[in-house]
Structure 1
Amino acid sequence: MEDGHESNLVYALVYGCILALGLPLNAVSLWILLRRHNLKSPSVVFMVNLALSDLLLAISLPMRVHFYATGTWSLGNELCIWTTMLFHNNIRSSSIFITFISVDRLLAVLYPLRSRHLRTASNALKAVVLAWLFVGVLNIPERLEFSMFFKRKNNSTCFEFQHNVTINNNNRHYHKSASTYVSSMLELILLAVNVVGTTLVSWTLRRHLTDSASVNNKVNVMLIFIMNMMMFIICFLPMAVVLLLYGLPVSTPLLCLASFNCCLDPLLYYFSLDAFWKKKEDIELAREQ
């Protein structure tokens, strides 16, 4: 019991640190993106939605800090369910928006002229609306699953939902829900897209960019792709693999790792937008690149 209490305090501290970093970083990033960049380019549209997703996650973290610091949950089942879904929604939506950013940069590098009619703010807005709708649809079976959990096991816990379990020959078998399959496969597919995109962009930049000005731009572009891919590998992949292969309830350390993405995403905005800190009138030149 003592070890469990100490580990819970560690989780509370970790979530508290993520909250302390993620909340101000994403609030400031969202303010800068909206005030200085507007929604006039696809990259900004994707980044605004990514910052919003991370901000929603950060807002939900005080509930996790409360639960792990006190060891009990007294705020009701509904708040627990919605807070948990905010967490899952961040992982899904963040991975989608990060991939959108990679695809947008990929088209800009490989087909700078031919892709201009596709890479518009209007098309980006349509894409993010579809992404949020997709994430919302996944909430429906997931919410039913969480509600059934509370009906089966009425206690003062939260964030540690157990999947349906059967025991054969003293072995536990966890039944994976449809949302678990979809979420796990989504992460793996999006990771593959980022890996392919990184490979293609690296090959293209190595062949065509040789002068010193282009080299600086090349470094920035490659940093975007490398950061995106590392975000998937470090934050999202471990949880997706555990869910897909074993169907186990994801351990809290992996959830902590996944939530850390909201602290890393603001770095993406800085490297993606050459004029991130500049005023509106100075940004137009960067957009032509």
Structure 2
Amino acid sequence: MANGSLSNCKSVFDFQHTLYATTYTIIFIPGLLANSIGLWFLHQFISKKNKAIIFMINLALADLAHVLSLPLRIYYYINHTWPFKNFLCLLCFYLKYLNMYAGIIFLTLISVQRYVFTTNPFKAKDWKRRYDVAISIGVWVVVGTACLPFPIYRSSGLNNTTTSCFADLGIKQMNAVNTIVMLTVAELAGFVIPLTVITYCTLKTRTQLKEDSLQCQNIKEKRKALWMVIMCASVFFICFIPYHIIFFFYIMVTSHVIQNCTFQKIIMTVHPFSLCLASINCCLNPIIYYFTASEFQNEVVKYSNSVVRARLMRESVSSR
């Protein structure tokens, strides 16, 4: 390969500050409102029998944690300086990956649960809510621990006088073994396995629906389950597949395994776009709650009817 260092190719991705500031500004308000309202709605139905509620609550919490860190990211990318503590910088950086991988796991769990309970209704009756709570706690512990290397990997050169953060953080050079271990775990556990599971659940749920449609068995409920799984798969495919494909080559470039300058420019140019695309998941995930959960649809109808009735009563009183 040609001898081209990453520093010599740096000018090609100077645009990323504008890209990040624009993307985060656009998704902040919709993400904040959608996940806050979604979390409130989900809490109202926590005692209902919908088995996916606990996982959806955790998905909303993961999204909200990332969304609440966006104003600091926006500030940095607009002003090009970080006046806050280094810990806060690394915390925001950490929350980004915590949101991504927790979101991936909870999307996978929602898909699996919908598929299993749709094809095996008796398992749904025997399943306890506390099982979902225990699984969720386990997910946060495992994912929270697994994401710690990301801020550590990007903390090179940080000190009390550092004014850089996020995309401008230094990259710690690791030996080949550590690089391969981190990359393998991230790609397998955070991408390949969830992708395989979600794809399998989507295809099997679709097949099950076709078979049951011939026998006219529980078509309505199974169609809802299929849409739930399809929405999980859509969010995964849109937000996370491009990022993880680019992420593999990004690690290879930043670790100087790949030193070809032309290839570096391509990867370092595409990587910010894939990262922005991954951030959009905090706006897309609420669609799963609003348009695939029958409880939400019923509650929206009830709320709309109550508003209309209240308005009609006020108009009736005022006209007397």
TM-score (norm 1): 0.82
Give the match's secondary structure for 1:73: coil
- Could you tell me which of 112, 116, 125 is aligned with 2:133? 125
- Could you tell me which of 154, 178, 191 is aligned with 1:146? 154
Maintained 8 Å contact 1:103/1:197: yes
- C-alpha deviation, 1:77, in angstroms: 1.5
Structure 2: where are the runs of 5+ without partners?
1-9, 255-267, 303-320
1:225 and 1:61 mapped to 2: Cα distance? 28
Partner letter of residue 135 of structure 2? A
1:39 and 1:76 mapped to 2: Cα distance? 43
Which residue number in structure 2 is paired with residue 99 of structure 1?
A: 108
2:177 and 2:94 mapped to 1: Cα distance? 20
- Could you tell me which of 179, 196, 199 is aligned with 2:200? 196
Does residue 236 (structure 1) correspond to residue 256 (structure 2)? The answer is: no
Partner letter of residue 129 of structure 1? I
Alpha carbons of 1:183 and 1:38: their partners in 2 closer, same or farther (altered >3 Å)? Answer: farther
1:232 and 1:153 mapped to 2: Cα distance? 38
Q: 1:25-44: per-residue Cα shift (whole Å, max 9, x none)? A: 00000001102444754311
Which has the larger displacement, 100-109 or 208-217? 208-217
Q: 1:35-90: per-residue Cα shift (whole Å, max 9, x none)? A: 24447543110011101111111101111111111122222321110001001000
Which residue number in structure 2 is paired with residue 285 of structure 1?
A: none
1:126 and 1:201 mapped to 2: Cα distance? 26
1:87 and 1:25 mapped to 2: Cα distance? 18
Does residue 156 (structure 1) correspond to residue 160 (structure 2)? The answer is: no
Alpha carbons of 1:223 and 1:162: their partners in 2 closer, same or farther (altered >3 Å)? Answer: farther
1:74 and 1:114 mapped to 2: Cα distance? 53
Partner letter of residue 42 of structure 2? L
Which residue number in structure 2 is paired with residue 55 of structure 1?
A: 64
Which residue number in structure 2 is paired with residue 182 of structure 1?
A: 185
1:179 and 1:38 mapped to 2: Cα distance? 39
1:207 and 1:40 mapped to 2: Cα distance? 26
- C-alpha deviation, 1:140, in angstroms: 3.6
Alpha carbons of 1:39 and 1:252: their partners in 2 closer, same or farther (altered >3 Å)? Answer: farther
Which residue number in structure 2 is paired with residue 263 of structure 1?
A: 283
Task: Give 1:22-41 correspondences, 5 Å limit.
Answer: 22-38=31-47, 41=50
Which residue number in structure 1 is paired with residue 20 of structure 2?
A: 11
1:188 and 1:240 mapped to 2: Cα distance? 9
Structure with greater Cα Rg:
2
Partner letter of residue 157 of structure 2? F
Alpha carbons of 1:84 and 1:156: their partners in 2 closer, same or farther (altered >3 Å)? Answer: same
2:173 and 2:141 mapped to 1: Cα distance? 30
Alpha carbons of 1:39 and 1:67: their partners in 2 closer, same or farther (altered >3 Å)? Answer: farther
Maintained 8 Å contact 2:31/2:64: yes
Alpha carbons of 1:137 and 1:177: their partners in 2 closer, same or farther (altered >3 Å)? Answer: farther
1:224 and 1:75 mapped to 2: Cα distance? 41
How many residue pairs were aligned? 273
Task: Give 1:243-262 correspondences, 5 Å limit.
Answer: 243-247=247-251, 248=253, 251-262=271-282
Q: 1:85-121: per-residue Cα shift (whole Å, max 9, x none)? A: 001000010011111110110111211114532x321
- C-alpha deviation, 1:273, in angstroms: 1.7
Maintained 8 Å contact 1:33/1:48: yes
2:283 and 2:124 mapped to 1: Cα distance? 31
Maintained 8 Å contact 1:30/1:48: yes
- C-alpha deviation, 1:211, in angstroms: 7.5
Maintained 8 Å contact 1:36/1:278: no
- C-alpha deviation, 1:225, in angstroms: 1.6
Partner letter of residue 213 of structure 2? L
Partner letter of residue 293 of structure 2? L
- Could you tell me which of 135, 146, 156 is aligned with 2:143? 135
- C-alpha deviation, 1:159, in angstroms: 1.3
Structure 1: where are the runs of 5+ without partners?
167-172, 283-289
Alpha carbons of 1:231 and 1:15: their partners in 2 closer, same or farther (altered >3 Å)? Answer: same
Which residue number in structure 2 is paired with residue 227 of structure 1?
A: 231
Maintained 8 Å contact 1:15/1:65: yes
Alpha carbons of 1:175 and 1:157: their partners in 2 closer, same or farther (altered >3 Å)? Answer: farther
Alpha carbons of 1:229 and 1:113: their partners in 2 closer, same or farther (altered >3 Å)? Answer: same
TM-score (norm 2): 0.75
